[in-house]
Structure 1
Amino acid sequence: MKKRTKALLAWAAVLTMGVSVLASCGNKTASGDSAPAGENKAEGKTALSLAIWDEKQRPMMESLVEAYEKEHPDVTVEVQLTPYKGGEYWTKLEAAATGGKAPDVFWLNVLHTDSYVDGGILADLTDAIAKSDIKDNFPESLVNNYVRDGKNYAVPKDFDTNALWYNKEIFDKAGVSYPTNDMTYEDLVAKAEELKKAGLPDGVYPFACPVDFQTWYYQTVFANGGWILSEDKKTSGYDDPKTQGGIQCWIDMIDKGLSPSSAALSETSSDAMFEGGQLAMNFAGSYMVPEYAGNDTIKDKIDCVELPSFNGIETNCINGLGYAVYEGSKNKEAATDLAIWLSSKEAMDIQGNAGVVISARNESQELFAKSSDKYDLSVYTAHTDKAYPLPVCKNAAELYDMESKALQKAYSGEESLADACKALKVEADAFLAKNQ
């Protein structure tokens, strides 16, 4: 118990650090309040708590709970929402776990899995998953996201990939044809240059190239034959010329004036600029669809296509969330049953039809695309079988933060990419040696 408590208390700095760099898996716009976990028995029923962080998904999660309670009349489930922003979700979860009162079931992302396994907070779901149909009906990469030392610690919930969005009004006024699904990186650059040459209004750019690993440069790094982490998680690949080539391509677009500066993008995100009509094109994760579709300023002016290929390779990076069960739950069996049920076709169809995220279950993935008659959201699932999983390691948030700070110097022109990556390699490898 002492070891678990010590590990939990040590997470605070790492978990909070990760928030500034991980803008994915629905992490951008959560808000709301969370009630503390209640007693495990209420009115003769088993009472479970389910922790989430995204207000946009609350109605969908409540629909799932309603369906589960209908099938399990002896169980009640309370949805508890705590905002992700500022690390509040993880800080509260950590404090609750330290006190032995964490939610019975809670959202988990890959970034925090290793630390939570070490902290003893996650129940081993290996046997429960083996008895279910999960391994036969979910992408192997998503199931393996939560496997550590042969044990599975979460049930896949959803996943996110990326697409190229564009503002039709800006293209129309510039007299430039719209992006298409068969574009290459070179086509993207040519399209951006054509927009710039046509003369865009002041403050409007063809594209944006922020220091964003999952949505931008990891995809081109992998397509270029580069790598971030070795298979044994002991070495980083930042000094590999192929890795640097997959990053330099975005810096080149900034240098050509096709994107706002890195300083400008540090103050105003590319999503905010796109929603404000300041970008003709932008990459965006599938978790941003509800926000784009709900923005009255742009929702009728935009559409999306597949990401441009790079070196002839279809690029995309896949990541997602899972449902984890608290090891210290007083009703761990019931909590595990809920987590497994949430992977069922019934549950995944409810989630898919809501149109807020892409359900992880294979046969439910297409429902995300069908949820909109305005945008072709099938671009998000077009090449999921070829998508690259997010590279993770123990305390990955700290590595991502280290990476972001180093690359910011290259994006700003303060250092060459080669010099920035050389220093990053030394720092990252020392970090990895301490986190085995």
Structure 2
Amino acid sequence: MRTTPLTAIGLAGVAVLALTSCSAGGGGDSGPVTITYTNFISNGGNEENLQAIVDAFEAENPDIAVEVTTLPYGDYSTALQTDLAAGTASDVFDVEYSNYAQYQANGVLAELEVDDPGVYRDSVLEAYQTDGAQFALPSSFSTVVLYFNRDLFDAAGLEYPSSDWTWAEEKAAAEALTDKAAGVWGDHQPVSFYEYYKVLAQNGGDFLDESGTKVAFNSPEGIEAAKWLVEKSGTVMPTIEEGQGTPDFDTNLFVEGKLAMLHTGIWVFGTVADVPFGWDIAVEPGNTEQASAVFSNAVGVSADSEHVAEASKFAEFLTSSETMVDTRLESGWELPAISDEAELAGYLEQGNPENRQAVFDSLDGVALPPVVAEGQQEMQDIITEELVEAQAGRKSVEDALASAEERINAAIGG
């Protein structure tokens, strides 16, 4: 995803495209087995990087050929759903974490035997396990961090954000840095599902109950977390009327030097790399505990594939090979979900931001998006809608969460 936000990230499918069906390649005298791979991760500039990985795999495995189909992210989910229903999905296909539970429950993912599980970062690998069994392999991850404008902090005589900051320190700095007359704002954090589940975790709350079929966020912890988000509007960050919530508004504000702190993903590094001021990142502050949003993509193998062994071999290469690691790090194409810190050392030395270590430190406390087997998109949309109602002042936070509780429970069968 841009991991958009993982991250973080979602766009609605706008087109139904038929994906290539599983190819039946021959073996022996008839040539290499052909497997198919449909993806969205390379769309928008990384198609050649993906092809380099595929070429390296085919060179190491001359008995396997890979046919690649790349779709825009906005089209991908609808297209995959269509092909899964028709039984024509590719042998290997991209899986977003937020959709994993539904795919696994529906039996469309083959169980995978991983040659070396230790090559993967545990917290990301385990996200694609069910009852101890592996049903997808993480291909990349992105984290959400706190960006900050060093020049604005220096001018105000404030210390930079650190890994031990809490909401209290962030709020105090944001208030001190906000200068509405000059058009400078202290903080920006989207009012959305993807921020709410994370700040809820930072406040010691749960989005779903233990059964996973009912919400649990309408609690004192949940109310406090919602207020943390919506009460920034008009105080330390712009209001909806001033543009907050429109695409790229927050990033553009930061690039213009008009925003002191920004909560967003590491996919923004390239966008802000050449700004005419000093900037850096830190692990996002928590309240009762530290919890960072991690957005990940994975690849799964179709349970209906005629070539599960070959498809699984490709899936492992695509997610753990040295070629993949080098290609991703050299191109800045998200981060590989590997455990070997030595292989990632080059990433830490790329500079700008200086504190790239915060990307990995944020993995010490991970807040994964809550997922349900049915009604995932409805759940996400409802909590965003209700929180925006509170942000706009049309509902109290308490009424918004009560309404969200009722609507989401109905949508997910709770």
For 1:314, which of 290, 310, 335 is the aligned residue? 290
For 1:387, which of 366, 379, 382 is the aligned residue? 366
Alpha-carbon contact 1:323-1:339 (below 8 Å) kept = yes
In 1: Cα distance, 2:264 partner to 2:318 partner = 27
How many percent of aligned residue pairs carry the same amino acid?
A: 24
What value does the CA root-mean-square deviation take over the aligned residues?
Answer: 3.2
* Partner of residue 80, structure 2: 93
After TM superposition, give the deviation of residue 26 of structure 1 in Å: 6.2
Q: Which runs of 5+ in 2 are unaligned?
A: none
Alpha-carbon contact 2:218-2:402 (below 8 Å) kept = yes
Q: Which runs of 5+ in 1 are unaligned?
A: 1-18
**In the TM superposition, what are the counterparts of 1:209-288 in structure 2 within 5 Å?**
209-214=189-194, 216-255=195-234, 257-263=235-241, 264-269=243-248, 270-288=250-268
In structure 2, what residue type is equivalent to 1:220?
A: V
**In the TM superposition, what are the counterparts of 1:176-195 in structure 2 within 5 Å?**
178-195=160-177
Normalised by the length of structure 1, the TM-score is 0.80
* Partner of residue 130, structure 2: 148
Alpha-carbon contact 1:137-1:363 (below 8 Å) kept = yes
* Partner of residue 201, structure 1: 182
Normalised by the length of structure 2, the TM-score is 0.84
In 1: Cα distance, 2:291 partner to 2:320 partner = 29
For 1:81, which of 62, 70, 75 is the aligned residue? 70
For 1:165, which of 133, 147, 150 is the aligned residue? 147
* Partner of residue 116, structure 2: 133
In 1: Cα distance, 2:350 partner to 2:47 partner = 19
Deviates more, 1:330-339 or 1:57-66: 57-66
Given the superposition, is the C-alpha separation of residues 277 and 47 from structure 1 closer, same or farther in structure 2, using an over 3 Å criterion? farther
* Partner of residue 361, structure 1: 338
Alpha-carbon contact 1:359-1:368 (below 8 Å) kept = no
In structure 2, what residue type is equivalent to 1:359?
A: P
* Partner of residue 409, structure 1: 389
Query: For this pair of structures, how many residues does the alignment match?
Result: 397
Alpha-carbon contact 1:64-1:350 (below 8 Å) kept = no
In 2: Cα distance, 1:406 partner to 1:22 partner = 21
After TM superposition, give the deviation of residue 36 of structure 1 in Å: 5.4
In 2: Cα distance, 1:173 partner to 1:377 partner = 24
* Partner of residue 71, structure 1: 60
Alpha-carbon contact 1:206-1:258 (below 8 Å) kept = yes
In 2: Cα distance, 1:367 partner to 1:35 partner = 41
Alpha-carbon contact 2:138-2:319 (below 8 Å) kept = yes
* Partner of residue 44, structure 1: 31
SS in 1 for 2:281: strand
In 2: Cα distance, 1:154 partner to 1:368 partner = 27
SS in 2 for 1:321: strand
Alpha-carbon contact 1:26-1:288 (below 8 Å) kept = no
In structure 2, what residue type is equivalent to 1:152?
A: Q
Alpha-carbon contact 1:251-1:411 (below 8 Å) kept = yes
In structure 1, what residue type is equivalent to 2:193?
A: F
Alpha-carbon contact 1:161-1:285 (below 8 Å) kept = yes
Given the superposition, is the C-alpha separation of residues 367 and 91 from structure 1 closer, same or farther in structure 2, using an over 3 Å criterion? farther
After TM superposition, give the deviation of residue 89 of structure 1 in Å: 0.9
In 2: Cα distance, 1:169 partner to 1:303 partner = 10
For 1:419, which of 381, 399, 410 is the aligned residue? 399
More helix as a share of residues: 1
Given the superposition, is the C-alpha separation of residues 26 and 430 from structure 1 closer, same or farther in structure 2, using an over 3 Å criterion? closer
In structure 2, what residue type is equivalent to 1:431?
A: A
After TM superposition, give the deviation of residue 22 of structure 1 in Å: 6.5
Given the superposition, is the C-alpha separation of residues 272 and 77 from structure 1 closer, same or farther in structure 2, using an over 3 Å criterion? farther
Given the superposition, is the C-alpha separation of residues 109 and 303 from structure 1 closer, same or farther in structure 2, using an over 3 Å criterion? same
Deviates more, 1:320-329 or 1:160-169: 160-169
After TM superposition, give the deviation of residue 153 of structure 1 in Å: 1.7
Deviates more, 1:234-243 or 1:341-350: 341-350
Alpha-carbon contact 2:192-2:387 (below 8 Å) kept = no
After TM superposition, give the deviation of residue 23 of structure 1 in Å: 3.9
After TM superposition, give the deviation of residue 187 of structure 1 in Å: 1.8
In structure 1, what residue type is equivalent to 2:206?
A: W
Given the superposition, is the C-alpha separation of residues 414 and 393 from structure 1 closer, same or farther in structure 2, using an over 3 Å criterion? same
In 2: Cα distance, 1:111 partner to 1:287 partner = 19
